[in-house]
Structure 1
C-alpha cells in the first residue's frame, strides 16, 4: 500500500471506531467540513483529495494520537498502530471508567466520591429557568483515582444529563457527562457544559475575537453553528466546565 492508501484506511478506521461511522462527527473533531473528509476518503474521481503530511499530523494532534499513527500500515503491530486502534476502543478509552452496581444503601468506599448533577430549575413567577447544582438530589459515584488520572479535583467534579439530538451520534439523548468545573478556559474544539440563559447545554466551543464564542453541535445538519459576540457572551453564557468523561446507554 502506498502512503495515501494507508492514511485513507486508517482514517476510515477512526471514523468507524471513534465516531460510530459518522464522517460529520470526525470532521467537527478536526475542524473541517464533512465534504472535505469525504473527499479524503475517496480513492478515485475528480473530487478525491490526498491526505497530505500537514493534515495527517493535524488529525493526529486533534484526536490525541501519537505522531505517525496514520502512516502505519494496517496489520503492523507497532506502538503507533496500537495507539490508533485503541483510541476508539470503548473498553480502553480514557473517557470510560469502571462501573459497579450499587444503590442508595451502599456505603461509599474509601476510594469513592459522589458527584452531584447540574440541572435546570424553573424560577418562580414565570421568570424562566436557572442552571443549578443539585446537591441534595441524585449523584453518580466515581473512583478518586479515576478522577486523579484525568487531572480532575473531586471537589470540582460534577455531572449533567444530555437532552435532545444535537450532539448525536457521539452523545445521544439521555447521555451523562462528567464536568471539571475547575477548567473554564475555552480550548478550541473541546466539549463544555454551559449555562446559556438558563438552559443547560453540552457543546463544542471555539473562541472568537472580542470574547465571542462559536457554539458547535455534532449533529450539524439539524443544529448549525451558533455565533455570539463578546457582549452577548458576557451577559448570557456561563461556562460551567470542561467535559472530561461521558457515558452512553444504547
Structure 2
C-alpha cells in the first residue's frame, strides 16, 4: 500500500477511510478483524472521534503503520527498491511488500532485519499421506525488527507461515505471508491464530466457548463456524502455534515468484 503524506490525507478519518478502501473492507468487517465494535470504527471514520484504544488493532487489521494512521507520519520501512531481484517485474518496478520478503543464504540482511523460521505442512514419510506442521529448514523470511518492536514481539518467539485458501478472504489473501507470535498461545477472543489441526496448518479467529473453543473464518459466507469440545481438541490434535500479528498482501499474477 502507498502511504500518501499528511497534506493529502490530513485527518485520522481521511487516512482510515483511505486504508479501508485500499483493503476493500467495510466497517463491520474491519470491526471483526480489529476486535472492536462497528460503532468504534464509525466514530473514527466520520471524524467524531480522534482517539481510540483500538487504533493499534485497527492498524494491524488494515496492515498499515500505526504512526501513519494516527499521525500521518510515513513509515520508515518503505523499502521497495531494496527487494531481491527475483521479486521485481521485468520492467524493474518492485512489488511493495512492506517489511517482508523471501530470503536465502545469498541475500544479506539489513541492519534492521532478522531472519525468521517459516512453518509449512510436511508430509510424514511413513504416515500414509499424513502431514504435520514443521519448520521449513530450507527457507527463512526476512523481517523488520522495527515491526516486531512496534508489535511488542520478542524476535526469538517470532515465526512466519503461508496462508493457503480463501477462508479469510478478503482480509487475508491466498498465499499471504503471516507473522506469528509463538509467545502468545492463550486465546484472546476475536484474535487471529495459526493452528496445527491434525497435521494441517490453519489460520482462524479463535473464541472461548463453554467446554471448548470456536474456530471462525473471516469468509463466513462460505465457511461456517467450527465448535470443538476440549475432548475433541485433544482427539483431533488441535494445537495453537501462536497469534498472528501481521500479514502481507502481495498478490502478483505470477505466483511462481513466491515459490
Give the TM-score normalised by the residue count of structure 2. Answer: 0.66
Change in 2 beyond 3 A, CA 1:207/1:98: farther
1:25 alignment counterpart? 29
Equivalent-residue separation in structure 1 for 2:219 and 2:64 (angstroms): 25
Which secondary structure state, in structure 2, belongs to the residue aligned with residue 223 of structure 1? Answer: coil
Is this contact kept in 2: 1:179–1:242, CA < 8 A? yes
1:72 alignment counterpart? 47
Aligned-pair distance for 1:124? 2.1
1:101 alignment counterpart? 83
Change in 2 beyond 3 A, CA 1:178/1:15: closer
Matched, 1:92 2:96: no
Which secondary structure state, in structure 2, belongs to the residue aligned with residue 227 of structure 1? Answer: strand
Q: In structure 1, list runs of 5 or more residues that go unmatched.
A: 1-8, 33-53
1:50 alignment counterpart? none
Equivalent-residue separation in structure 2 for 1:220 and 1:169 (angstroms): 11
2:210 alignment counterpart? 209
Change in 2 beyond 3 A, CA 1:151/1:209: same
Aligned CA-pair RMSD: 3.6
Superposition map of 1:29-40 within 5 A? 29=33
Bigger fraction of residues in helix = 1
Deviations 1:186-237 (A, max 9, x none): 1000000000111001110001122x11100011111011100011113421
Aligned-pair distance for 1:26? 3.7
Give the TM-score normalised by the residue count of structure 1. Answer: 0.68
Change in 2 beyond 3 A, CA 1:229/1:15: farther
Q: In structure 2, list runs of 5 or more residues that go unmatched.
A: 1-12, 70-74, 85-102, 252-259
Equivalent-residue separation in structure 1 for 2:223 and 2:244 (angstroms): 20
2:140 alignment counterpart? 139
Which secondary structure state, in structure 2, belongs to the residue aligned with residue 124 of structure 1? Answer: coil
Matched, 1:182 2:183: yes
Is this contact kept in 1: 2:205–2:215, CA < 8 A? yes
Structure 1 stretch 198-207 or stretch 23-32: which is displaced more?
A: 23-32
Change in 2 beyond 3 A, CA 1:30/1:138: closer
Structure 2 residue corresponding to 1:129, chosen from 128, 131, 139: 131
Which secondary structure state, in structure 1, belongs to the residue aligned with residue 250 of structure 2? Answer: coil
**Looking at CA atoms only, which structure, 1 or 2, has the larger radius of gyration?**
1
